[in-house]
């Protein structure tokens, strides 16, 4: 009897909803607190595709990415850049011929938050739960 209950519990645990790759991750685009208070989805896409390279004051924009394959980056790529990571890799391979390189990649969301907090020209993205007073949220992707 106990064995049957353990087996049933194991099956139910496998079927229970968990936050997986297919589930939506709350993504927030962040900038330094001295930067603009809002950016549109199109603005952010243009920045991350390096089609817009300067802030309104003329200073260079520094977009930051997370490592490829993370759920947060996959969601950001799908929602903001409207493409898969594989197709974006092809896009960047073509851009190399024009001397245009992809945004730098940082190892963690903590690294992105710290970089954006310290550089007024930086822009990045985090899970909504990791946004604090050191950065300014400019776009929420739900």
Cα 77 to Cα 8: distance, rounded to the nearest angstrom = 38
pTM of the model: 0.81
Cα 95 to Cα 49: distance, rounded to the nearest angstrom = 10
pLDDT at 17 over 50: no
Q: What is the pLDDT of residue 25?
A: 74
Helices (H), the chain: 2-15, 41-48, 71-79, 85-96, 109-118
Fold of 25-141: D-Maltodextrin-Binding Protein; domain 2 (3.40.190)
- Pair of tokens at residue 114: 């710290």
pLDDT tens by residue, 68-116: 999 999 999 999 999 988 999 999 999 999 999 999 999 999 999 999 9
- Rounded to the nearest integer, the mean pLDDT of the chain is 85
pLDDT at 19 over 90: no
Q: What is the pLDDT of residue 24?
A: 65
pLDDT at 13 over 70: no
């Amino acid at each position: 009897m106990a064995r049957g209950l353990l087996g049933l519990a194991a099956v139910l645990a496998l079927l229970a909803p968990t936050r997986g790759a297919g589930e939506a991750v709350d993504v927030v685009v962040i900038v330094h607190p001295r930067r603009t208070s809002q950016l549109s989805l199109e603005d952010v896409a243009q920045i991350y595709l390096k089609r817009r390279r300067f802030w309104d004051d003329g200073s260079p924009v520094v977009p930051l990415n997370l490592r490829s394959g993370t759920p947060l980056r996959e969601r950001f790529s799908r929602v903001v850049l409207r493409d898969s990571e594989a197709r974006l890799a092809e896009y960047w391979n073509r851009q190399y011929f024009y001397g245009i390189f992809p945004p730098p990649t940082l190892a963690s969301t903590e690294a992105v938050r710290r970089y954006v907090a310290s550089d007024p020209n930086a822009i990045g993205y985090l899970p909504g739960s990791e946004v604090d007073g050191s950065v300014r949220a400019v776009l929420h992707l739900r």
